[in-house]
Amino acid sequence: MKEADLVQFASTCRNAMEGWATRSGSMFHRFPIGACGDATNLIGRLLKEHFGLNGEYVCGEQHPTLASGNHAWYEAAGYIIDITHDQFEDTGLVGWVFPLSSTWHTSFGEIERSTYCEGWFGYPYDAYAAMLAALEAR
C-alpha cells in the first residue's frame, strides 16, 4: 500500500471519528483524548478488512515528554498510523501517517506490540460504522 493511500485512509478515519467527540453517549466522547487504544484497534481492523493489510498494534509507555500514561498507534506497510497523537501537546507531528523512524514515537521507553487477528471483536460499533461509511463513500 502506498503512503498516499494510507494518508487518505487515516484522514478519512480521523474525520469520521471527530463526529463522535461531542456525543456524550459514545465511548469516544472527547475524542481524541483517551481514545488511542480503541481507535488503533479500529484502524487495524479496517486495514485488514478493506485492504488485506496486516500490521501491529503498538503501545508505548514512559515517554520523556509525557507526565504519565501510555499511547497506542498502528504500524503497517512500513508506516505508523496515529490518528490520536494530537491529544498531547508539543508532539511536533503533523498529519496522521509517519515513518517508522518518527522521533516522537521512538522516544517511548517501553513498547509492546501485538498483531491484528481476525478474532478482534467489533466494538465500538458506532465509531466502526462511521469509519466504514466514510471509507465506502470515498
Taking each helix axis from N to C end, the angle separating 125-137 and 3-18, rounded to the nearest 10 degrees, works out to 130
Amino acid letter, residue 97: V
**Strand intervals (E) in the chain:** 55-61, 70-76, 79-81, 97-99, 110-115
Question: What is the residue extent of each domain of the chain?
Answer: 3-137
CATH of region 3-137: 3.10.670
Alpha helices in 19-59 (DSSP H): 36-51
Whole-prediction pTM: 0.86
What are the pLDDT tens digits along the chain (138 aa)?
A: 899 999 999 999 999 998 888 888 888 888 999 899 989 989 998 999 889 999 999 999 999 998 878 999 999 999 999 999 999 988 999 999 999 999 999 999 999 998 865 555 555 667 777 888 888 887
